[in-house]
Chains A and B, each alone.
Chain A
Amino acid sequence: MMKNAGRDVGGAPDIAVRQLSVWYNQMPALQNINLYLGAGQVMAIIGPSGCGKSTFLRVLNRMIERLPSVRVEGAVRIGHFDVFDDHVDVTGLRRAVGMVFQHPNPFPMTIFDNVAYGPRIFGIKSSAQLRKTVEDSLKQASLWDEVRGKMRRNAETLSGGQQQRLCIARALAVHPEVLLLDEPTASLDPVSSAKIEELIVQFKSHYTMIIVTHNLQQAARVSDVVAFFEQGRLIEMGYTQDIFTAPKEKRTEEFLTGRFD
């Protein structure tokens, strides 16, 4: 998109969603979503609880398929991945599309093993290479200084904010191109939240990112574009500044100003 002209977007892909609908047990959760996100951009998804934000993220890496009685229609393209094509490499897709969850979910193992988990799964055995990947990823997630020399500690001994950055490092270790963040700071204190936000800003243009957040200031601070969802529909999407200063839809305005029922 225009805004990205001249910026290095590396391998970050764009995301195109066409006529996407999702049902849980015949109940619609997303209805006819169409949107486009440029390479290396950050999109914030906002909207009331239950409007389908998490569902939307779960569609993008096909995590949605693990739930019983789900039906998905429409098409999603992430870079060269035709996400719902029968022949798509789901493992490769999930590797390229990292996900960070609302509650930090480190594995019950050491800090090192958490970050090394992905690379090991993908066949890296050399310990020198693993150590380098782990160190790089932890540095990228701004956690290295806090955990160096403590690599053998159980990850669950870290604070909530550190755990969340560990989960980010774990995702980065498999060299994703897209990051999906589902309310990544919702369970954290303000200082830890600020650190995560800082990371997102740093990552800008290196990764294409989608962040779900209930914190409107956060959305304003980190995103290039904002999408407002309501009851499974995409009500409005636009540049962050435009959405916050001059929303086109009445519902968006009501939501942003808190006059929302």
Chain B
Amino acid sequence: MEPLLSVDHIDYAYHTLDGETKALDHLSFQVHFNEFLGIIGPSGCGKTTLLSLIFGLLTPEAGRIKIHKALSRNHKMPIGYMLQKDHLLEWRTVYQNVTLGLEINHQMTPGYIKPVEQMLRDYGLDAFKHVRPSQLSGGMRQRAALIRTLAMKPNLLLLDEPFSALDYQTRLNVAEDVYKILRRKHKSAILVTHDISEAISFCDRVIVLSGRPSRVKAQVPIRLSLEEKTPLKARSAKEFKDYFNQLWGELNG
């Protein structure tokens, strides 16, 4: 089957007054339908740049990025992008925050609003609809940010270290929640993270990027002997440690 997303030999460099910073070098990979792809790599290697390119905020200098036709056809926002911090706007209520994308895209129609209200109920935010974001806990804020992204019904989600601003315990719980939500909705995702354990527990396949300029150094499919994988259960799978060592080796080798 044709992949959902294919990134073909893309190059990207930042041009500043001091000169050129080459970020990506002939980078290629693919994401398949219903796949969660993890991307790990050294700090500053170009992971955020890569997501910006896929989303279309930046244009590659060479190579191309192809999205499956089924996605781009009559769909305003086939890709959803979730940033590291939730960036909920304090002057808006939680409800106004989660519908911000719909407002921007002129999609405040029942077809979009109803699923948002359902998500608010499902993810325990219904009672907080009309309060300000500052009254939410870190985990709730991140869930609100997820609803805001999912409101536009994207098929592929780009997650740029979405849990790194949370404390450890919340982080595990939110990762678990997000994982289940995305699976239930049959989404695909690219998760950028610094955390090897998080990549193994969340993803079906992990790509390791080299240092700048980045290219794909290794691709590791994650196969855990579990009946039903969730991030928390994955951490106790017996293969977990081997994958950790393998990825650690790739990152530092």
The answer to whether A and B come from one shared complex is: no
